[in-house]
Amino acid sequence: MTPVSQSLSGKHAVVTGGTRGIGAAIVELLSSHGARVSVISRSDRAQIQADITDRDSVQRAFDTAREQSGPIEILINNAGEGKSAPFLQTSADLWRQMLAVNLDGTFYCTQAALGAMLDANWGRIVNIASTAGLTGYKYISAYCAAKHGVIGLTRALALELALKGITVNAVCPGYAETDMAREAVDNIVRKTGRTPEQARADLTSRNPQSRFVSPAEVANAVLWLCLPGSEAITGQAIAVAGGEVM
């Protein structure tokens, strides 16, 4: 890819879950502005395979990323998973899975990347949370709890690093045109007998623009938080959701 700008030239970015959907859009956009991007994912399409719910796997992956492309200056914690169930049907395994993927993984990856940022007195950490981290939704209590945790972690770490040249922010998409949204549509169709069109309308009903957001729109917000000029933006949870959460 020929960069459209050199704004991030020389910066090494790690994107977790970067092989599809929002993650792939972020990888493409950061690369287009000159960043060297390492993609870490469970997928065999990733440059570096890892299970972000396992601390040792994360450490090995980040060591590999550093060996291949140098110190990590930008971290995008994008990998995540959402599953639904009524609260009383939320098993302990489902609860732990949602916390492990969405919150523990963010914790492990941030710890693995932070040392080099502190050494350089510069860094950008962007956590892909969700509007489910800003408000409640029925039938996804475990996912909501995990994403609220991500936003709490974002705010606490932003304060801890405020004098270190490192910003920490969260980007909070609403329903986006991703595999996760398609799975949610399929789940509604299967459980309620509604048509896919009716299921999509139900999911977008809280969005004042009455639509899913695109992965590119989420990636644009991430890019802005990494570009020069965003230094004063830290500890924020920015909704990309058509006005759904204000």
Catalytic positions: 143
Query: Alpha helices, DSSP H only, in 123-163?
Result: 141-160
Cβ neighbours of residue 17 closer than 8 Å, sequence gap 6 or more: 23, 40, 41, 52, 78, 79, 80
**Cα atoms in the 13 Å half-sphere on the side-chain side of 112:** 29
Cβ neighbours of residue 115 closer than 8 Å, sequence gap 6 or more: none
CB 168 within 8 A of CB 127: yes
CB 105 within 8 A of CB 156: no
CB 242 within 8 A of CB 208: yes
Can you tell me the distance from the alpha carbon of 113 to that of 118, in angstroms, rounded to the nearest whole number? 9
Query: Which structure tokens are listed for 69?
Result: 């492309």
CB 82 within 8 A of CB 129: no
Q: Is 186 helix (H, G, I), strand (E, B) or coil?
A: helix
User: CA of 96: how far to CAs of 36, 53, 169, in Å?
Assistant: 33, 10, 24
